[in-house]
Amino acid sequence: MTNVDVALRLVTDGMTLGLGSGAASERFLRGLGDRVRAGLKVAGVPTSNKIAAMATSLGIPLVELGNTLPLDYTFDGADEVDAKLNMIKGYGRALVREKIVAAASKKLVILIGPERIAEKRVGKLGSRGKLPIEVLSFAVKFVQHRLMALGMPSEILSENGSPVLSDNGNPILHALVKPIANVVELDALLQAIPGVVGTGLFLGMADLVLVQDGDIVHELRRTL
């Protein structure tokens, strides 16, 4: 039994699903593709161009987000999850689209694989030392200045000397952080900076986290 198997049990004919990005989401997508080829009738809203291409190759029908509200479930991964199921996401650059699709869903289900449980399940968000923030190109230096004033130096995510852009065409800053004392307060401060498109803090959004621990799947549910 895997966390993908548990997640797929939630899916029934006629559902519209948010399809997250990253390794855990890709494992779910492959399992969903098998079910679709066996006759399951669903449609998906991808959170990245890569996931859209993968879903198409697996035969999973795709639809536009605005035509399908609300989505039944979104299935996604996370980079950090705390005891309250607050999360940091976005190491894979799709944080803004992931947040939009998650917010458009009745339920958000997060899958964490067995390889990185120790580093992903954290006492405090920020324990891995970085927080992704998507910003407008025009505002990069300004946002970096504001982040520095908050004690958060930042680096532009780059590859081969060039900024790596999100599917929205925006650069990503990795703010260097320590474990965050008050995630709600910090998220509000960051969202208030002009030029910030979105942060990797996903607070109060996950309904269920499925943690694969060997042959056991732990089901963690958010309590209000």
**Residues noted as catalytic:** 98
Whole-number Cα distances in Å, 215 to 5, 8, 79, 116, 123 = 12, 17, 21, 15, 24
> Contact, 85 vs 124, CB < 8 A?
no
38 Cβ contact partners less than 8 Å away, ≥ 6 residues apart: none
Distance between CA atoms of residues 5 and 10, nearest Å: 9
Q: How many CB atoms lie within 10 A of CB 175?
A: 24
